Amino acid sequence: MPKYIVLLGPPGAGKGTQAQKISSSFGYPHVSSGELFREHLKNQTQLGKLAQGYIERGELVPDDVTIAMIRERLTRPDCEQGAILDGFPRTAPQAEALSAMLAELGGKVDLVPYINVPTRVLVERLAGRWTCREQGHIFHETSNPPRQPGKCDVDGSELYQREDDQAETVLKRIQVYLSQTTPLIEHYRSQGVLVEVNGALPIDQVTQTLSELIEKEVLV
């Protein structure tokens, strides 16, 4: 039976970093909804073109388009044993759709770690974050500065600060996330699969906590 983990946490909680680490350790692919959207838009797939139409009109991409992208990704061979979902679901209705989808694939949501970080810490983290233009590598002014200012250590491309990582918009992003996601958190809590993780701890300690949870709750 495939195993599925849904990582939850506000912007700046480190979901992407932790997903990559536990993916490397346990072999479950990291399925990021953001990266999946970019892939479909870049490759101009049928779903990508459909999503682009909504985006160009300034409309929200409907759930059924997002869900179709997730379904396509989870049916690829590398997800045969399961996956780590990051960025999806975002709402309780999406969670219900995911449950139905996973049931068709012979699985279910086995664990939902909620990486909880105080708002003050999130603002500090995000306001100093810089992103690589070429492949999206993340750097931070204090905790992970590039060797050469303004350039990515990996591919040498320019680093820039996303508009939504600028201090004046960070707090709003966090507030919006919390208001939208509270019902989702309660949804998974009521199912007995949600576990809160202290995301304010050092990265390696968070990884260790997540690894122990997976070994205890998923690999049984």
Q: Which of 21, 73, 125, 129 is catalytic?
A: 129
CB 209 within 8 A of CB 203: no
Q: Which of 90, 108, 151, 189 is catalytic?
A: 90
Residue 73 falls in the annotated catalytic set: no
Distance from chain centroid for Cα 189? 19
166 vs 130: CA distance, rounded Å: 10
Residue 162 falls in the annotated catalytic set: yes
Q: Please name the amino acid found at residue 137.
A: H
Determine the straight-line distance between the first and last CA of the chain, rounded to whole angstroms.
11
Q: How many helices (H) and strands (E) does the chain have?
A: 8, 8
Residue 90 falls in the annotated catalytic set: yes
Q: Which of 15, 21, 73, 125 is catalytic?
A: 15
User: pTM for this structure?
Assistant: 0.83
Domains of the chain by range and CATH? 3-117+175-217 (3.40.50.300)
Q: Which two tokens stand for residue 82?
A: 């399961």
28 vs 78: CA distance, rounded Å: 8
Q: Would you give per-residue pLDDT tens digits along the chain (220 residues)?
A: 899 999 999 988 999 899 999 999 999 999 999 899 999 999 999 999 999 998 889 888 899 999 999 999 999 999 999 999 999 998 899 999 999 999 999 999 999 999 999 988 888 888 888 999 988 899 988 888 999 999 999 999 999 988 877 877 888 888 888 888 899 999 999 999 999 999 999 999 999 999 999 999 998 7
- Distances from the Cα of 62 to the Cαs of 47, 59, 204, in angstroms? 11, 9, 37
Residue 125 falls in the annotated catalytic set: no
